[in-house]
Amino acid sequence: MNKIWIHIVLLLSGLSGLAQDFSIQKAEVNTPANDFAIQEIDGQRYFCSDRRTQSLITVQDESGQLPVHWFDEEGEVSIPDGYASPASHHLGPFDVDHLRNEIACTVNISAEGQKTEVLGIQFIGKGQKQSQHQYFPWNSTNAGYNTAHPTFSLTGDTLVFCSDKAGGKGGADLYYSVRGNGEWSQPELIDRLNTPGNEYFPVFAPNGWLYFSSDSLPGAEMLDIYFSYPEQGAWSKPQRLKAPINSKGNDYHMVFDQDEIHGFFSTDRKGGDSDIWEFTRELPTFESCKPSFPEPTCYLIEETEITHNDTLPVYYEWDFGDGTTARGLSNEHCFPGVGTYDVALNIFDTITGAQFGRVSELRVQIEMARIPFITGIDSIEVNEPVAFGADLSELGRMELEDLYWNSGDGRKHKGTEWELSYAAPGVYDLSLGAMAMPRNGQTYHQCATRKIVVYDPRSPELLTEKVAFEAVIPEAKRENETTENEDERVYFVEFHQSPIQMTLNDPYFEHVPFEITERFRRMDSLYHYSVGEGEELLDLYQVRETMIESGYHDVLVKDELPTNFEESTVKRGKYYSDEEKIEMNRYVGTLADIQFAVNSAEIQDASLENLEFVAQLLKEDEGLHLQVDAHTDNSGSEEYNLKLSEERAAAVVAYLTEQGIAESRIFSAGYGNKRPVASNATERGRQQNRRVEFRLIFQEE
């Protein structure tokens, strides 16, 4: 037998994403010999050991190593019932295909005509004779390499093992072979799990993860235990178990019981011989568990700002966005299920039946609560076993690591179901936690809780405490409502929407008797045109009536947060007929008699009253703009006159901006003596040429 592999077999031979903690203790089966690689077959545990099998006779191989045999938990050499021992003086490590009642065992083999022995894999079927045992077809046929440490996948269709044959990454590497039609495929290297060093003792856990040992993966001190799980058709990056599983010694062959909480591993951490240790995995803890009930679908839909005015003929009706309506300012409404519902309060005129307004628009979004739900009854008798289960339908396609239960009285369990009983009356918080494998750096970690009432019917005082699951009806909120005081709303009468921007002197607006507000809303990419703004909805009743009388029929009162209303406002202004524009410019022209100090841009006090009238006119309609033109006579040079006129026009602009008129609404120009309106030959003519002109600019210009 190859010396390196004798050493491997006899002396050996923190989860970073899913933090797992373990408590460990030394198993009772150990002796001063090398004990390792324990497995369960037909409900009994068997392990490998090189302890003496006879007190007077000791058999050694050519390298001086004692052979390995199977032992039961009583310390006796033993072969499981129904299985025939292979014709080999070396047995183990091994694994069991429980579906086929077949054992794959590491044995010693030699090529025909050669004395050198290597390790190979042999299959032992239950009920088979020794002569019927089959060898793995990919064992070495010329004693050139070792094939050992087999482990079956959960279905038994895949065999993972280690080998030091040529073509690997170096040392011993992990390979896999697939069974099909009774034949094993040519082994393939599991590239991601191997290193130039050694990888040994692969073992499949009940959840399909692969645990193995390596002396060369990152973090390894000697042989350390790592794990990998299936991930999108491949094996995930190996992760090293933290202490107390791994130590400064050799740690290997980690095997889980079916509950995946308890198990065994082998280690020589105490120095000298290898021993078997037991471990118990500490289950994850979950905090802030949510009640195990679906997301609430019932809401209080209420408008608290509007005060009903009995003198106005209106009534209120909520449209819940699910095909149903209800009258009144306040309603409790249950939506049909998961979805998004656009809710609005409609106001109708009781005389005409026409819609007066549409306000309090809000969006109710009911999503799936991505938590597991606990199935089972809520009230049970003392010591009555009751099965609780997990409904995972709300978790979608999430790939869970597992489910973890807490009884509420200190007991824990792992799995999709739990048959549970309680020994004492009381109310217990049964919780169910779910943890998913990390994806994109994130781990799903949620839990649900359910109150369980446990009572004793024989007691004279029955448990009176009830578990009341009150239907808490949350209040529906408008979108973005938290940005301002929820009582602050601005109401307005909207009468038109357009996909393109319109000038306020468009003929469509000819009969609008109010200032028009144009707003652009990104949510629908439309321009909205409205009139009237107020803090009370019903104050706009007459404004709406006037708009209808003016020929506008698609008229609704709406509401908005003041900040949102202002931020979406593009412009404000009025419609002016041609006659009105002429008359307004005639009037503003009378105010253009602005006097300045001689050869100066200083405005005389006598002209300030005119400028105040101009400022007031511009304040009344933000849609108006003003053109200011300044002129001189021909006294002085053209260059001097041009500069003086520009300075005088700028002085008028400066005064108007001081009165609160945005500078962007005023345009100015100085023309010097280039545009006379009279002859400069006379004093009267020169006086007429020394002037300022005002011209109103309307939205369409």
3-state DSSP of 203-263: EECCCCCEEEEECCCCCCCCCEEEEECEECCEECCCEECCCCCCCCCCEEEEEECCCCCEE
Summarize the confidence of residues 131-137 as an average pLDDT. Answer: 94
User: How buried is residue 78: exposed, middle or buried, by Cβ count under 10 Å (0-12/13-18/19+)?
Assistant: middle
Number of domain units in the chain = 5
CATH number at residue 630: 3.30.1330.60
Look at residue 603 and tell me if it is in a domain: yes
Same domain, 398 and 491: no
**Pair 104, 91: CB distance under 8 Å:** no
Would you give the end-to-end CA distance of the chain in angstroms?
102
* Phi then psi dihedrals of residue 113, to 5 deg: 80, 5
Among 15-19, 185-189, 256-260, 669-673, name the one with the lowest average pLDDT: 15-19
State residue 482's pLDDT score.
Answer: 45
**Pair 236, 193: CB distance under 8 Å:** no
* Torsion, Cα of 528, 529, 534, 537 (10° steps): -70
Residue 248 has pLDDT above 80, yes or no: yes
Look at residue 471 and tell me if it is in a domain: no
Same domain, 308 and 235: no
Residue 115 has pLDDT above 90, yes or no: no
Look at residue 36 and tell me if it is in a domain: yes
CATH number at residue 204: 2.120.10
**Pair 414, 260: CB distance under 8 Å:** yes
- Sheet of 210-214: strand order equals 199-204, 210-214, 224-228, 239-240
pLDDT, tens digit, 9 for 90 and up, residues 615-630:
988 888 887 899 999 9
Same domain, 657 and 527: no
Same domain, 46 and 134: yes
Residue 30 has pLDDT above 60, yes or no: yes
pLDDT, tens digit, 9 for 90 and up, residues 61-105:
544 466 888 999 888 888 899 999 998 888 889 999 999 999 999
Look at residue 191 and tell me if it is in a domain: yes
User: What is the SS3 assignment for 578?
Assistant: helix
* Listed residues 366, 385, 400: the one ending a domain: 366
Look at residue 472 and tell me if it is in a domain: no
Summarize the confidence of residues 7-33 as an average pLDDT. Answer: 62
Token couple for 88: 């080999």
* Listed residues 261, 282, 303: the one ending a domain: 282
Look at residue 124 and tell me if it is in a domain: yes
Same domain, 534 and 427: no
CATH number at residue 347: 2.60.40.10
CATH number at residue 559: 3.30.70.1070
Summarize the confidence of residues 577-600 as an average pLDDT. Answer: 86
Look at residue 462 and tell me if it is in a domain: no
CA 186 – CA 154 distance, rounded (Å): 20
Residue 369 has pLDDT above 50, yes or no: yes
Same domain, 159 and 40: yes
Same domain, 568 and 585: no
pLDDT, tens digit, 9 for 90 and up, residues 418-456:
999 999 888 899 999 887 765 554 566 778 888 888 888
Residue 163 has pLDDT above 80, yes or no: yes
**Pair 447, 371: CB distance under 8 Å:** yes
Look at residue 469 and tell me if it is in a domain: no
State residue 57's pLDDT score.
Answer: 40
Among 205-209, 369-373, 607-611, name the one with the lowest average pLDDT: 369-373
Same domain, 428 and 552: no
| Domain range enclosing 303 | 294-366
Token couple for 689: 């040429």
**Pair 319, 325: CB distance under 8 Å:** yes
How many CB atoms neighbour CB 315 within 10 A?
13
Same domain, 251 and 197: yes
Average pLDDT score, the chain: 85
pLDDT, tens digit, 9 for 90 and up, residues 464-515:
444 433 444 566 666 545 444 555 789 999 999 999 999 888 889 999 999 9
Same domain, 150 and 267: yes
Same domain, 417 and 489: no
* Torsion, Cα of 189, 192, 197, 200 (10° steps): -70
Same domain, 340 and 381: no
